[in-house]
Amino acid sequence: MSAMVDTAPAHPVAPARDEGRASAPWALAAPALMLFLGVLVIPLAMTVLLSFHDWGQYKGIEPVLILKNWHEIATDPYYLEMFGRTFRIALLTTLITAVLGAPEAYILNRMAGPWKSFFLLVILGPLLISVVARTLGWALLFGGNNGLVNKLLMSLGLIDAPLPFMFTETGVVVALAHVMMPFMVLSVWAALQRLDPQIENAATSLGAGSFTIMRRIIMPQIMPGVLAGAIIVFSLSASAFATPAIIGGRRLKVAATLAYDEFLNTLNWPLGAAVAVLLLVALVLIVVGSNALIERRYAEVFR
Amino acid sequence: MSFLELDRVGKRFGPTTVVDDFSLVVRKGEFISFLGPSGCGKTTTLQMIAGFLDPSRGAIRLEGKDLTAVPPAKRGLGIVFQSYALFPHLTAAENVAFGLEMRRVPRAERGERVRATLAMVGLEGFEERYPRRMSGGQQQRVALARALVIRPSVLLLDEPLSNLDAKLREEMQIELRQIQRNLGTTTILVTHDQSEAMSLSDRIVVMSQGRIEQIGTPQETYERPATTFVSQFLGKTNDFAAEIDRGTAPARLIAGSWSAPAPPGVAGPVTISVRPERIGFGEAGLTAAVVTRIFQGNHWLFQCDSECGPAIVIRQNDGTPQPAEGEAVRLTWRTEDMSLRARGSV
Ligand SMILES: Nc1ncnc2c1ncn2[C@@H]1O[C@H](COP(=O)(O)OP(=O)(O)OP(=O)(O)O)[C@@H](O)[C@H]1O
Ligand SMILES: [Mg+2]
């Protein structure tokens, strides 16, 4: 569309031919647009509409337009706490993946040939396994008295009671960080690929030590990669379902698990829709906002 | 007076020897070029001087002190990399200032020196530009300024001009030479471009397969190549097989029907090497026939078939009539214009 607008003034003559051509992009894009409309826009619009409907234990869903659900979310502190928890978990997960993932990618990048491919496989391997299986692994290690690690530590006498992991925020964050790590490592890895291989030698020859090189030369250059990874990890963590559902369970609800429960257990679809829409809007705002900030910060240097 | 000294330096990667028995004495203020084909070990040698690689054997000394014991960050050498390796997240001025910051030069002096050095390489007004927003030639200048601003004891340049187009390269060569003359910085340039090495250096180190073939001034290496490799690598040349005839009273040097009094001190079968522009057509000399004649504006290029094998002759286009294709000619040259080496030596 923008191409059409841009070229129109450039060709003031032969409008007939231009008109014929102008419709071509629309015709060509039609199949994709239909799909986009059918599977994304329409369901989304219906969900938004649903969030304004009424619901009662006995009357079910009433197709009216009221602000009841939104009012409930805005006034009941339960929702504030729940959304607070969701974004706290997402933020902590993002921090952990950044702090661990960036050095991981750097070390990986410096490894010699065969080791590099091996460890890359180790890091990316989990992507091939279902999130459920990976999360259940954590539950097996730390789940209550029967968790493998807890059993070991208790029999060694290092701890008296099992480490609290299941149904705790810490547990959810740790398991999510594990699940999300590949996205951060890949993102930083891509940034490292763009680094000049001689750049560290150049800094060394100017008298910089390895700590200074890391802080002044490497870090600023891979920062866009870290931030891009952070956006991916943050939005995936905030909307994650499987891991919070298994580790957090019913006691520790986040936005995704709450929406799920409203839809399938309470059957209060309108409230569930309101929670889902709010999560979506918040995420879009956060992602678009931080992306704009990053673009502005790095436009000068990397474009 | 030796300033930088490489003493029988060698480098092996596993079983392969990449640099072998490399000895060189560089004087203060000298401009040295390492010249050789791709993969002959030029970069490796330079990286050993810089300290990014440890020599497998031998010693490197700067002003008599062992350099191999000094970590690369403390050597105080200025290096320009082939890819420039500028810091893309810093402006031109910040790039140049980096080395001074590391040396804890006070801010005011730092600013002054950065400005002066950028001006010296012709980049006034580019202080706030980021490298991505500069042309290849400008980036090249920033890299040079960044290396020079720390007042390095030795400037190391690894094919710094190879990414530039021919015209810009020529300009930068002249500029580089002028800057080096003005500052008097001892400089080592790595290149595989023989004309670059010739026009810039005080002395050229011609390398092949990790070994030094010849060290000499550009004129020496061109006119008195020590080996066949050097004569072939530095421009076109003619090699003729020749014998020494001791039967006559003053011994004579004979190649086909060309002959001259033998210079003292040579014996046995030898190879005569003559540059194409030093051969003339005469009454006597090597019998040959012109195969092709090519007009190239300011000169003629003749490919001849002589009794000692193919020969190339270049004649100035000075208006005199030149032999035609197929014509029989005699090739002759002055003994000062040829170089001799024992045949069999490579
Ligand atoms: N780390 C290494 N391991 C094994 N072999 C190496 C290594 N580094 C370089 N070599 C080999 O050493 C030889 C010399 O390399 P070097 O980079 O010094 O060549 P060069 O003369 O600079 O060539 P060019 O003009 O192409 O840059 C090459 O054959 C190269 O394959
Ligand atoms: Mg090289």
Domain-wise residue ranges, chain A: 77-298
Read off the pTM.
0.80
Find, in chain A, the residue whose alpha carbon is nearest to that of B157. A202
Distances (CA, A) of A35 to A40, A44, A61: 8, 13, 28
Residues 6 or more apart whose CB falls under 8 angstroms from that of B55 comprise B9, B10, B11, B19, B48, B68
Task: Tell me the pLDDT tens digit for each residue of B262-301.
Answer: 887 777 788 888 989 999 998 888 999 999 999 988 899 9
Task: Count Cα neighbours of B8 within 13 Å in the Cβ-side half-sphere.
Answer: 2
Going by alpha carbons, the residue nearest to atom 24 of ligand 1 is B38
Do the beta carbons of residue B9 and residue B53 sit within 8 Å?
no
Residue A140 CA to residue A133 CA, distance in Å, equals: 10
| Most B-contacting residue of A196, A199, A206 (CB-CB within 10 A), to test interface | A206
Residue B205 CA to residue A135 CA, distance in Å, equals: 64
Do the beta carbons of residue B202 and residue B25 sit within 8 Å?
no
Which range is least confidently modeled, B24-28, B171-175, B184-188? B171-175
| Most A-contacting residue of B98, B146, B157, B159 (CB-CB within 10 A), to test interface | B98
B72 touches chain A (CB under 8 A): yes
Residues 6 or more apart whose CB falls under 8 angstroms from that of B191 comprise B33, B34, B35, B42, B159, B161, B162, B197
Backbone φ and ψ for B203, nearest 5 degrees, come out as: -135, 150
Q: What DSSP element (H or E) covers A125?
A: none
The residue behind tokens 């969900």 is A47
Q: What's the gap in Å between B159 CA and the centre of ligand 2?
A: 7
Domains by residue range for chain B, with CATH = 4-232 (3.40.50.300), 236-342 (2.40.50.140)
The CATH H-level (homologous superfamily) assignment of domain A77-298 is MetI-like (1.10.3720.10)
Task: Tell me the pLDDT tens digit for each residue of B31-89.
Answer: 999 999 999 999 999 999 999 999 999 999 999 999 988 999 999 999 999 889 999 99
Do the beta carbons of residue B61 and residue B67 sit within 8 Å?
yes
Q: Determine the pLDDT at residue A17.
A: 56
Q: Determine the pLDDT at residue A225.
A: 92
Q: In the predicted model, what is the mean pLDDT of residues A84-104?
A: 95
Q: Which of B48, B19, B52 is nearest to B188 (CA)?
A: B48
CB–CB contact A198 B130 (8 Å)? no
Residues 6 or more apart whose CB falls under 8 angstroms from that of B181 comprise none
Q: Which of A206, A302, A303 sits opposite B150 (nearest CB)?
A: A206
Task: Name the residue with higher pLDDT: B277 or A10.
Answer: B277
Q: Which residues of B touch A113 (CB under 8 A)?
A: none
SS3 B253: strand
The residue behind tokens 């001034």 is B217
Q: Determine the pLDDT at residue A302.
A: 61
CA dihedral B313, B316, B320, B326 (to 10 degrees): 20
Q: Determine the pLDDT at residue A3.
A: 39
Chains A and B form CB pairs within 8 A to the count of 70
Q: Is B44 in the pocket of ligand 1 (CB under 6 A)?
A: yes
pLDDT band of A218, cuts 50, 70, 90 = very high
